[in-house]
Structure 1
Amino acid sequence: MAQPTLAVAPNRHIGLNSLATVLNDQKTRAVDVIAAAGTLHSDGARLVIPGTSPVLSSAGVTMAPGSFALSDIALGGVSAKLDIPMPYLRRMAAEDVPLLDYNINRWLERDDRRFLVRCLRHDSTGGDGTARAFLSDRYLRIDNLDVLMAALDGIRQAGVGVQVASCDLTERRMYVRFVSPEVQVMAPQLLRNYRSPFNGRRGSDLPVISGGFMLTNSETGYGKYTLAPYLRIEVCSNGQTVDRGTIGRTHLGARITDEDGVIDASPETMRRLLGLITSQTVDAVRAYLDVDFVTRAVRDLERDAGVAVTRPDETIKVVSQRLKYTQEQQTAILAHFIAGADLSAGGVMQAVTSVARSIADADAAYRLETTAAEALRVAAAAA
């Protein structure tokens, strides 16, 4: 048996318990603020927000201004909302912070809108922290922990055996991949020439694909909550989404009408919203975790997978240009294609998913997982 040649990213693919621990900690430190532009200002690349820092004195607890470091994501929100070019903001943050403060403050002074600022305090007792997102006051807050709990409740109600394959959490999104050992399809045609670059096993020895689904959510403005069909190849544990039947819920809602200041979600609003997520999860589990559904998805992949790739460099370059992969990703895909030993369009798809599993950037990995099927089609056409 061939020796493993490539490694899985060590900082990713955490377990459900680890994910829940992190999300619980974040929830205790989270603070959401609606603030008029004119009440905000930047000081030393930190956003100063009134009424966000509890101060204990002999008179009791009062709320003083809090100071929150602008994360790169929050800086991106400032760029989008105030129409300041992001490269310019980043350069000022790196080279001239007073100029950064001046630019942000001048444009805030001229704005009459309100914004939602999502922050994480340093600890649960209050005080300063990090501004992790700068958003519209129409942004509908659907938090990762609530989404996860609602989805797990939907899985329980659906009554189908499901395992958590892996989880990833970044500043942009949460990713949870579920698979079912009860829903497996044989795919000897798709996997006959493939060799796992991680453990050296051949697809012909274990030509099994499991059905599942991927749950994603963003708390910081990077896409809606979604449930998408997901396939996992058992010989290597690579996975990818399927181009059909994605369920989602946008984060755009009605304008927040609360008074300016720290806000909490309406219990009734959240109850209805999370109930919808639970219901959608039940529907998704029953639709995606079906042998016929998975069989059709596999057969769709097999249609173009057998096309021979005789010029890997050129074919993978075309795939990378069409799908806007980076040069680094293109190089990695070629290396995984060679290690996988499947010299076909299906081998290109496998290389894309194995790169996704091996890289440290979970957001980039997600994009690879969601474009792998398209990479197969482009490779077949270009070969």
Structure 2
Amino acid sequence: MKQGRSILQLAQELERQRMVRRDYLTDTRNLVVKTIVGISNLTLNMDGTVETFILNELAHKQIADRLQIPFRYYSKMRMEQPSLLDENINGWFNEAPERRMLRILDGNVRAFLSDRYRRLDNLELADAVLPIINEMKSAEIISSQITETHMYIKVINKKLKAEVTVGDIVQAGIVISNSEVGLGSLKVEPLLYRLVCRNGLIVKDYAQKRYHVGKQIESDDSAYELFSDETLAQDDKAFFMKVQDTVRTAIDEVKFHLSVEKLRATMEERTGPDPVKTVEILADTYALSQNERGGILRHFIMGADNSKYGLINAVTRASQDVEDYARATDLERLGGELFALSPVKNKLFVSNPSAIAADKSNNNLIQLDMMKLTTGA
């Protein structure tokens, strides 16, 4: 599992962000975009008070999506015809006005969202769940991180563990994640943590989600700042109490042992005899990058296990090699996707194990050839 910040570093960054983050609700007619050399400034006019912020990459994508401008063309205008991009954005902001929420951090527009977006923020979430984690016997936070788009807290229960096979032990855990910028729900997901290589497998079954959708904010003002104390209304306190209950019950012994039994069964499900072809199908199906598919192939071959279990472990092990923490977590979720897949009529797996035995010698030759390629031997 990829390591991020210590929990103390996470708390310090959340406190820092609380001091500098700002949110506005505004009619788009109060907004003007000006782009120079690929950098776009957004100016907000609030009854004569003018403030200017820089649009970050996500805000660009959200504006393009909202205005139904294909992002490839949007990016081309941004770099080659910035005045044309500004004309498009400002024109549609005025011709089809609507109220939008702007989320600002460190002088940047980090999100361009609906006025129905419910702010379930990272600091409030951490304040709600960290005391519950501290109350849980044998619980340990093994990894945490805050990125531009997400916060993650990964927890294991050191006493709730089982052997998948002799000497191959997994522990129960959970992943708590949230996005403040519209890229996903607040999630509490089961985790299987493999001790032998410190891989994290995020289990798709039994995951709990809370969505950032609320009532439309009523106001006659054309533009105004939203203050964080509004998010601490009674209904939000009740919401976070539900999240606390979800965390308390997320590490469930019965569900954990059911997942372990299902994981053992994956050892009997086989991929094809050619690991290169298997990873190629996986990469094409899930849009993996060249580096990601190379890392998965390397770990798949080194593991010398062409079962479904071996492929899952190759994917989750490769997650540790990925520089971006959010993408590493995506690969841990991909391991969970594979875990949940039925082998029936799936290109990644074969339904006749005897076919694997027949091709065993061929498979060994492929593994030797690929080992030479990946090690440079």
The TM-score range, normalised by the shorter chain, is 0.7 to 0.9
Given candidates 10, 14, 19, the residue that maps to 1:19 is 10
Pair 1:252-2:213 in alignment: yes
Q: Which position in structure 2 is the counterpart of 1:104?
A: 89
Contact 2:188 2:246 in 1 (8 A): no
Partners of 2:202 and 2:125 in 1: how far apart?
19
- TM-score w.r.t. the length of structure 1 is 0.82
Pair 1:39-2:30 in alignment: yes
Partners of 2:283 and 2:248 in 1: how far apart?
33
Partners of 1:311 and 1:107 in 2: how far apart?
52
Number of positions where the alignment pairs a residue of Structure 1 with one of Structure 2: 339
Contact 2:292 2:322 in 1 (8 A): no
Instruction: Point out the more displaced range, 210-219 or 335-344.
Output: 335-344
Q: What SS class does the counterpart of residue 252 from structure 1 fall into?
A: coil
What per-residue deviation string (whole Å, max 9, x for no partner) do you get for residues 338-371 of structure 1?
Answer: 2333332211100110111220122322221112
Pair 1:292-2:254 in alignment: yes
Contact 2:173 2:192 in 1 (8 A): yes
Structure 1: give runs of 5+ residues left out of the alignment: 1-7, 53-62, 122-128, 193-203
Aligned-residue RMSD, C-alpha? 2.3
Q: Could you tell me how far 1:215 is from its partner in structure 2?
A: 0.5
Q: Could you tell me how far 1:267 is from its partner in structure 2?
A: 4.3
Partners of 2:43 and 2:246 in 1: how far apart?
44
Contact 1:13 1:167 in 2 (8 A): yes
Pair 1:173-2:123 in alignment: no
What per-residue deviation string (whole Å, max 9, x for no partner) do you get for residues 164-223 of structure 1?
Answer: 1111222221111111112111221xxx6xxxxxxxxxxx3xx21110100110011101
Given candidates 120, 133, 142, the residue that maps to 2:120 is 142
Letter in 1 for 2:322: I
Partners of 1:105 and 1:112 in 2: how far apart?
10
Letter in 1 for 2:281: V
Instruction: Point out the more displaced range, 27-36 or 265-274.
Output: 265-274
Q: 1:268 to 1:329 in 2, by over 3 A?
A: closer
Q: Which position in structure 1 is the counterpart of 2:323?
A: 360
Q: Which position in structure 1 is the counterpart of 2:201?
A: 240
Structure 2: give runs of 5+ residues left out of the alignment: 357-377
Contact 2:129 2:247 in 1 (8 A): no
Letter in 1 for 2:183: Y
Partners of 1:208 and 1:270 in 2: how far apart?
44
Pair 1:65-2:50 in alignment: yes
Partners of 2:231 and 2:180 in 1: how far apart?
20
Partners of 1:177 and 1:335 in 2: how far apart?
26
Q: Could you tell me how far 1:101 is from its partner in structure 2?
A: 1.6
How does 1:151-230 map onto structure 2 within 5 Å?
151-156=129-134, 159-188=136-165, 204=167, 207-230=168-191
What per-residue deviation string (whole Å, max 9, x for no partner) do you get for residues 85-132 of structure 1?
Answer: 2112222222332222222111111122111010113xxxxxxx1110
Q: Which position in structure 1 is the counterpart of 2:226?
A: 263
Contact 1:304 1:380 in 2 (8 A): no
Q: 1:243 to 1:102 in 2, by over 3 A?
A: same
Instruction: Point out the more displaced range, 12-21 or 32-41.
Output: 12-21
Partners of 2:30 and 2:75 in 1: how far apart?
23
Letter in 2 for 1:304: T
What per-residue deviation string (whole Å, max 9, x for no partner) do you get for residues 9-46 of structure 1?
Answer: 6xx52211111111111111111011101110002311
Q: What SS class does the counterpart of residue 325 from structure 1 fall into?
A: coil
Instruction: Point out the more displaced range, 308-317 or 70-79.
Output: 308-317
Q: 1:67 to 1:164 in 2, by over 3 A?
A: same
Q: 1:24 to 1:329 in 2, by over 3 A?
A: same
Larger RCO (CA within 8 A; separation ≥ 6): 1
Q: Which position in structure 1 is the counterpart of 2:20?
A: 29
Identity of aligned residues (%): 26
Q: Could you tell me how far 1:272 is from its partner in structure 2?
A: 3.1
Letter in 2 for 1:331: G
